[in-house]
Amino acid sequence: MPKSLTPPLAKLKQEIEGHAREFGLDFFETIFEVVSYDELNMVAAYGGFPTRYPHWRWGMEYEQLSKGYEYGLSKIYELVINNDPCYAYLLESNSDVDQKLVMAHVYGHCDFFKNNFSFRHTNRRMIDDMANHATRVRRWIDKIGVEKVEDFIDRALSLENLIDQHAPHIRRNPDPQRAEDELKSNERVEGFKVNREYMRGFINPSEFLDSQRKKVEEEKARTKKFPERPQRDVLAFLLEHAPLEPWESDILSIIRDEAYYFAPQGQTKIMNEGWASYWHSTIMTRRALKDDEVIDYADRHSGTMGTRPGALNPYKLGIELWRDIEERWNKGRFGKEWDECDDLRARRSWDKKLNQGREKIFEVRKHYNDITFIDTFLTAEFAIDQKLFVYGFNDKRNSWEILDREFRKVKNKLLQQLTNFGQPIIEVVDGNHDNRGELLMAHKHDGQDLKGDYARETLRNVQSLWRRPACIITRYDNKGVLLRFDGQNHTEKKIDL
Amino acid sequence: MSLRIHQDHSRFKQIVRGKIKSNLRKYVQKGEMIGKKGKDTISIPIPFIDIPHFKYGHKEQGGVGQGDGDVGQQLSPGAVQPGDGHQAGQGEGDHSLEVDVTLDELAQILGEELRLPNIERRQNEKIVTQKIKYTGVNTTGPESLRHFKRTYKQALRRQIAMGTYDPARPVIIPTREDRRYRSYKLQELPETNAVIIYMMDVSGSMGDEQKEIVRIESFWLDTWLRHQYKGLEARYIIHDAVAREVDRDTFFHTRESGGTMISSAYKLCRDIIKSDYPKSAWNIYPFHFSDGDNWSADDTRQCIEMLREDVLPNVNQFAYGQVESPYGSGQFIKDLREAVGDSTNVALSEIADKDAIYASIKDFLGKGR
């Protein structure tokens, strides 16, 4: 089980923490625990937490991680939990230089967690909540049975990406126009206009008024949509409206809580890993590294930064981008004058000696997420320097190939990959579809089709929670399609969009 | 102290196991998994253990990468990772996941599913074998075990320390002292030894399909016996009118023509047992596959005689599988049934086609001998 730091490690921690503070990093108290490989694999399988609710997928994760170790594919880990205090893990068999590198990297993450706006609404006591979730799920298992609970978790997990990532930041103001409409529609039905008061009873007999009133009510009921606006948080919608047993609601809300907790980490992966890498490299090379550790450090560092053509390494892309920003703001390579300069030689030797780089990156780490980070700071020069390209699958040759190196396309593809974690945006549009209590969802199609077999399996899981047929509108090959699962059969219907 | 995760891990394995079990008949009939065999493990495509999500197909989505190369250049296979980190199956739209299962585990599953009894060992003597285990890195050792990366690093370190490293001309020359070697220990493992002697009729009437059946069936026999005995050897005999011993590869890929003299194989089998596998130290399993079309009644008589006198008294079990060929099925199994069918250590099985392999494995292994 996790051990507290040995005196030499405690000394290292003190040293690295000192460097980090000196550089201006600002973090919660950070607790390091020393663990064995097995324990590290376990914690990693649990997403960094010491406890999670029981489920086979952690076991699958664990198996893959352990295998990676056996095959010598993975060596060094850094694992930090966004919590106050932050928790991080050190592998007991690592050398001092590894431990220092990991600590420096961890302080980078902790600073990011504390200061980046995306994490402002996260639960800083998540470590306790995760443990509580585990206890609750275990108690349900005792009561309901492991098979039923696990089966439900499987289905709930299948929907875990159907949340509204930005929900924690949205304040839902009442809509004045809608309120006004609502007020108006509540006015009494007056019937025909009456000039002579004594004629009123004849022109607008009470039966007539009643029937008119009823008509209006019916009309209102008919047009009242449910939900009134498309709802991105499909899990919340199901929690509120699906006929779930109490234990099912409880588990679904656990899955949803955890999904929201992890969402900001997905939204800032490139920034966060880049930031931590920037700081481990700065702290190590400027302060902490001893002469005889240089080679091992270089070996580890380059191992983390390695790239393969068909995958983007967030550590590498991130650190390079941070360094690029720092350099640009040091040299004054921004602003109107810079943008308008098209003399290549002048651009190359441009140096206004502003030295605002450090300050700038600290500001950026506060107010951006991956999308705005890439959108604002990824320049054409950078894309060329870093040899970025768009790749795609060539059906004819049955292989992946480089499609484009054009800056605009690279950037757009990258932004597309980052939007909603590169996952489709799905909303509930009607909870009473066809007036038969069917659930209708819509996929906001952005040029990419859903993976068909997965969509059908997922629809099956939605149906099992909703307990009425579930449908989704999407597009295949540019044609509108309504997929429907009624509990027995899948159907697919062409529709006009 | 056991880790909490072990519960989740064993649950995962249980699910994998369940999937394999429910598909076992399919796996047994299909030969393809034999080709995916590692040293101790086998990759099995199991259906859909992934949790489905609404997501894009990776092939439709593509992505951004980093590195050299011109537009249009193909990326090397394996360079592209599926978007969400899960192992992908054989292709998009294919609900399967490849999992590695140890052969031992596979054997267990086979045993459970076919309700195979464990083999009662005839020989209890423990025979000790040695196994090499690599334990670390040393400064001395044979050149064949030189650890190149460590050696390089050591040399680099020394050259930097000595100030002889020139970044402009980064040549690293390891000296004697820089060299690093993998060190190993010999571990002694007690083992119970067994040998399988495979015999196959490769005469003209045995076609590719028949051989495929033998190949698949022997994979499962192998797997089961290997699970029962730690040290398992295999010998291979092919025969038409004459018999000869071959290696495994030749065994499965030889095609001969001409007549069939089964006795030639049995004779060779007898000789191999006599010279290499004393009954006192070995558990012995001859398996013979043929379409049952022997040359003459006289040869069949010789076979039976040899079985009775030389083979059966020395082996744990003798097994004969008669594979139906395009020319029909021969007489041999009937002759055997009459002559030695009552013996406890004889297993006979008729294998009409691939579908019959499943039942045939049970015929062979069901006696627990």
The pLDDT of B79-99, averaged and rounded, is 47
> CA B111, CA B101: separation in Å to the nearest integer?
15
The Cα–Cα gap between A86 and A80 comes to 7
Q: Judge if A347 and A461 occupy the same domain.
A: no
Nearest to A391 among B13, B80, B156 (CB): B80
Phi/psi of residue B63, nearest 5 degrees: 180, -170
Q: What angle do CA A59, A62, A66 make, to 5 degrees?
A: 140
pLDDT of residue A265: 93
> Which residues 364-403 of A have a C-beta within 8 angstroms of B?
386-394, 397, 399-403
Q: How far is CA A53 from the centre of its chain?
A: 21
In this prediction, residues A20-44 reach a mean pLDDT of 94
Whether A282 and A326 share a structural domain: no
Confidence check: pLDDT of A360 > 50: yes
Residue A214 inside a domain? The answer is no
**A326 and A443 assigned to the same domain:** no
CA–CA gap between residue A461 and residue A42 (Å, rounded)? 28
Q: Is the pLDDT of residue B91 over 50?
A: no
Q: Are residues A285 and A432 in the same domain?
A: no
Do A294 and A316 have their domain in common?
Answer: no
Query: Which of A60, A420, A426 to mutate: most B Cβ within 10 Å?
Result: A60
User: Could you tell me the pLDDT band of residue B88, with boundaries at 50, 70 and 90?
Assistant: very low
What pLDDT is stored for residue A185 in this prediction? Answer: 60
- Does residue A345 sit in the same domain as residue A465? no
CB-nearest to B72 from A38, A402, A443 is: A402
Identify the three-state secondary structure at position B116.
coil
Same domain, A20 and A154: yes
ipTM over 0.90: no
What is the rounded distance in angstroms from the CA atom of residue A89 to the CA atom of residue A68? 18
Q: B75–A402: do the CB atoms touch at under 8 Å?
A: yes
Distance, CA of B239 to CA of B299 (rounded, Å): 14
pLDDT tens digits for range A369-378: 999 999 999 9
- Across the interface, of B12, B13, B62, the residue whose CB is closest to A390 is B62
Give yes or no for a contact between A9 and A33, defined as CB atoms under 8 angstroms apart: no
Q: Which residue of A has its CA nearest to B74?
A: A401
* Residue A264 domain-assigned (yes or no): no
Fold of B191-366: Rossmann fold (3.40.50)
Domain end, chosen from A403, A419, A435, is at A419
**Distance (Å) from the C-alpha of residue B96 to the closest C-alpha of chain A?**
12
State the count of interchain CB pairs (< 8 A) between A and B: 206
A428 & A486 share domain: yes
Q: For residue B154, give the nearest of B139, B135, B134, B168 by alpha carbon.
A: B139
Interchain CB distance below 8 Å, B66 and A417: no
Which of chain A's residues have a Cβ under 8 Å away from the Cβ of B73? Answer: 401-402
CA distance B333 to chain A (A): 47
Q: Do B54 and A453 touch (CB under 8 A)?
A: no
Which of B229, B231, B295, B220 minimizes the C-alpha distance to B264?
A: B295
Q: Do residues A217 and A209 lie in contact, with contact meaning Cβ atoms separated by under 8 Å? A: no
Would A181 be classed as within a structural domain? no
Contact A58 B160 (CB under 8 A): no
Q: Are A248 and A235 in contact (CB under 8 A)?
A: no
Q: Which of A42, A57, A448 sits opposite B51 (nearest CB)?
A: A57
Q: Which of these three, A419, A444, A471, is where a domain ends?
A: A419
Residues in A closer than 8 angstroms to B3, CB to CB, are 38-39, 42
Is residue A402 domain-shared with residue A446, that is, in the same domain?
Answer: no
Q: Mapping DSSP to helix (H, G, I), strand (E, B) and coil, where does residue A396 land? A: coil
For chain A, percent of residues with pLDDT exceeding 90:
67
A371 lies in the same domain as A456: no
Give the closest-approach CA distance of B294 to chain A in angstroms.
Answer: 50
User: What's the pLDDT at B89?
Assistant: 30
Q: Which of A1, A46, A56, A375 is best to mutate for the B interface (most B CBs within 10 A)? A: A56
A473 shares its domain with A344: no
pLDDT at residue B95 is higher than 50? no
Of the candidates A160, A397, A448, the beta carbon closest to that of B60 is on: A448
Q: Note whether residue A271 is domain-resident.
A: no
Say whether A295 and B160 touch across the interface (CB within 8 A).
yes
The gap from C-alpha B243 to its chain's centroid, in whole angstroms, comes to: 24
Please list, in sequence order, all residues whose beta carbon lies within 8 angstroms of the beta carbon of residue A414, skipping any fewer than 6 positions away. Answer: A312, A374, A378, A388, B64
- Distance CA(B369)–CA(B364), nearest Å, equals 9
CB within 8 Å: B62 and A392? yes
Distances in whole angstroms, Cα of residue A87 to Cα of each of A37, A126, A465, B125: 17, 11, 36, 54
Place of tokens 């503070």: A21
Question: What global pTM score does this model have?
Answer: 0.77
**Domain range holding A369?**
306-419
Domain boundary among A356, A384, A419: A419
How is residue A426 written in tokens?
């799905």
Q: Which residues does chain B have within 8 Å of residue A299's beta carbon, measured at their own beta carbons?
A: 153
| A457–chain B Cβ distance below 8 A for any pair | yes
B56–A422 C-beta distance less than 8 A: yes
User: Does some domain include residue A358?
Assistant: yes
Residues of B in contact with A62 (CB under 8 A): 5, 8-9, 12
A92 Cβ under 8 Å from any chain B Cβ:
no
Q: Is A141 on the interface with B (CB under 8 A)?
A: no
Q: Per the domain annotation, does A200 fall within a domain?
A: no
Test A403 with B57 for CB contact under 8 angstroms. Answer: no
Give the residue from B1, B14, B17, B51 with the most A CB atoms within 10 Å of its CB, the best one to mutate: B51
User: Which residue in chain A is spatially nearest to B156 when comparing CA positions?
Assistant: A295
A264 or B222: which leads in pLDDT: A264
User: What's the total number of domains in chain A?
Assistant: 3
Q: Which among B293, B177, B79 has a CA at the least distance from the CA of A308?
A: B79
Torsion region of B19: left, alpha or beta (phi above 0 gives left; psi -120 to 50 gives alpha): alpha
- The pLDDT value recorded for residue B94 is 39
A162 CB burial (10 A radius; 0-12, 13-18, 19+): buried
Q: Alpha-carbon distance A389 to A384, whole Å?
A: 9
Where residue A263 falls among pLDDT bands split at 50, 70, 90? very high
Do strands B283-290 and B193-201 pair parallel, antiparallel, or not at all (unpaired)? parallel
Q: Match 């298992």 to its residue by tokens.
A: A141
Give the residue on B whose Cα is nearest the Cα of A63.
B9
Q: Is residue A475 part of a domain?
A: yes
Q: Is residue A64 included in any domain, yes or no?
A: yes
Between residues 291 and 350 of chain A, which touch chain B (CB distance below 8 Å)?
291-292, 294-295, 299, 307-313, 316-317
Q: Is A37 on the interface with B (CB under 8 A)?
A: no
- Do A391 and B67 count as a contact with CB atoms less than 8 A apart? no
Is A401 in Cβ contact with B56 (below 8 Å)?
Answer: no
Considering CB atoms only, which of B49, B61, B79 is closest to A308?
Answer: B79
Contact: A311, B10; criterion CB under 8 Å = no
Q: Based on the fold, state whether residues A129 and A79 are members of the same structural domain.
A: yes
What would the pLDDT profile of A363-411 be if each residue is shown by its tens digit?
Answer: 999 999 999 999 999 999 999 999 999 999 888 888 899 999 999 999 9
Interchain CB contact of A405 with B (< 8 Å): yes
Of the listed ranges A48-52, B99-103, B121-125, B145-149, the one predicted with least confidence: B121-125
Query: Which strands sit side by side in the sheet containing B63-66, from one edge to the other?
Result: A399-404, A388-394, B63-66
Q: What is the mean pLDDT of chain A?
A: 90
Q: Are B191 and B128 in contact (CB under 8 A)?
A: yes
Q: What is the pLDDT of residues B228-266, one digit of tens each?
A: 887 788 899 999 888 989 998 888 877 777 778 899 999
Q: B74 to chain A: which residues are within 8 Å by CB?
A: 394, 397, 399-401
Flag if B54 and A424 touch (Cβ within 8 Å): yes
Residue A278 pLDDT: 97
Give the residue extent of every domain in chain B. 2-47+97-114, 128-189, 191-366
User: What is the tens place of the pLDDT at every residue in B1-36?
Assistant: 367 888 998 888 888 888 888 888 888 877 666 666
Min Cα distance A68 → chain B (Å) is 13
